[in-house]
Amino acid sequence: MTATGAGLVDVTLPTEQSEGTENVISVWFKAIGDAVTENEPLLEVSTDKVNVEIAAPSSGTLAEILKSEGDKVEPGDIVGRISLATGESPAPAQKIESAPQADGISKTPAVAQSAITDASADLSPAVRRLLKEYDLDPSMIEGTGRGGRITHQDVMNVIASGVERPAPAAAQKTAIPSHKVPHTQMRRSIAQHMVQSMSVAPHVTSVFDADLSRIVAHRDANKSDFESRGARLTYTVYFVAAAVEAIKKVAEANARWHDDGLEIFDDINIGVATALPDGGLIVPVIQKAQELDLFGIAQRLGDLTDRARSGSLDPKDVQRGTFTISNHGVSGSLVATPIVINQPQVAILGVGKMERRVVSAEVNGKEEIVTRPMCYVSLTIDHRVLDGYQANAFLSRWVEWISTG
């Protein structure tokens, strides 16, 4: 909290920031002149990974908003100021009087316009822009914010339900029927991050086949025991453990490119891409995975996944990742290539759908045609850092651990 004189206190963003992200103010919960209470949520800042509420540093009145909704901000920026002088109430809205005209007839604003003005009194600038752009009446929208306030997301939900943007009269006869869903800040940030990764790193992908028979049998035998101790034994748990073993063999996969050299990390911090129920993607990170056994990985992964889908991750939960896994097979994909590298990392593992396939395998010392649970696994690399030989060595060790332990 910083006092600025004249009874003002700065509202400052935290100095911590997730790697590779852009901070944007998504919503102010208060308007200028509103009373605020110390530690109550004042605004929300969004990145491509997590939304963070910023609390009021003191009680008083919101005196200034220096950064508006949609503005890009940096850690440590001053975004607003709170006046410590309390007790003053905002000036009451002036009553609109009918003004006599030259012809002696009084003219008053239309009733519908008055209703919209009243309903719009507590709306944020971003909400007002959307209402105007889509010609929406705020009195017809149910607000889910504090005290019934209409939020930016409330308006986007209405638009997503099929409200069309008004088209110019000349274009209405020829336009193809459609509707537009505004981008969320998370989707904008993901798009920027993906484009940046493809422009910086030359992507190359290797694909291997993996026999999952061993881990299927192990999971069937141990799933109940894990659940009784408070952990879900999913197949992704095995994929993380196998990645740790593969990184031990090819350390360059757990690194960061610098123009003057390669920074190879001692800790193996594995991010697992997690799809969110309302769209978007987030990558919570299992810190120091090399120190965890299978049960420890299951505990950590389950906790992170649950909190990611409930929107309760902390910024530290998505920081310091050194390697990423995309288990895209859970939604039915066999092979995805290239999976875009999560910059500034240098490789990303993709695991496809498990399916029973006919293969040639050794059974009791004889080569036989059998069916096995199989999946395709890919490693997309930054070719500045890794070559095909290293990518194949990584995947060979990953497949070996999955198949034989």
DSSP string, 59-72: SEEEEEESS-TT-E
Assess whether 135 carries a catalytic annotation. Answer: no
Please tell me which residue in 137, 225, 278, 387 is annotated as part of the active site: 387
Close Cβ partners of 340 (under 8 Å, ≥ 6 residues apart): 194, 197, 198, 203, 348, 380
Find out whether 336 and 350 touch, Cβ atoms under 8 Å: yes
Predicted TM-score of the model (pTM): 0.64
The reported pLDDT for the residue numbered 125 is 63
The reported pLDDT for the residue numbered 81 is 93
The reported pLDDT for the residue numbered 2 is 57
Strand intervals (E) in 163-220: 203-211
Q: What does the block give as tokens for 102?
A: 């030259």
Please tell me which residue in 203, 209, 303, 383 is annotated as part of the active site: 383
The reported pLDDT for the residue numbered 53 is 81
Q: In angstroms, rounded to a whole number, what is the distance separating the alpha carbons of residues 87 and 62?
A: 13
Assess whether 306 carries a catalytic annotation. Answer: no
Maximal C-alpha separation, the chain = 107
Q: What does the block give as tokens for 149?
A: 């306030």
The reported pLDDT for the residue numbered 17 is 57
Segments in the chain below pLDDT 70: 1-6, 16-21, 48-49, 85-122, 124-126, 145-147, 153, 160, 162-174
Strands 347-351 and 323-326: parallel
Residue 133: other Cβ atoms inside 10 A: 14
Q: In angstroms, rounded to a whole number, what is the distance separating the alpha carbons of residues 89 and 104?
A: 37
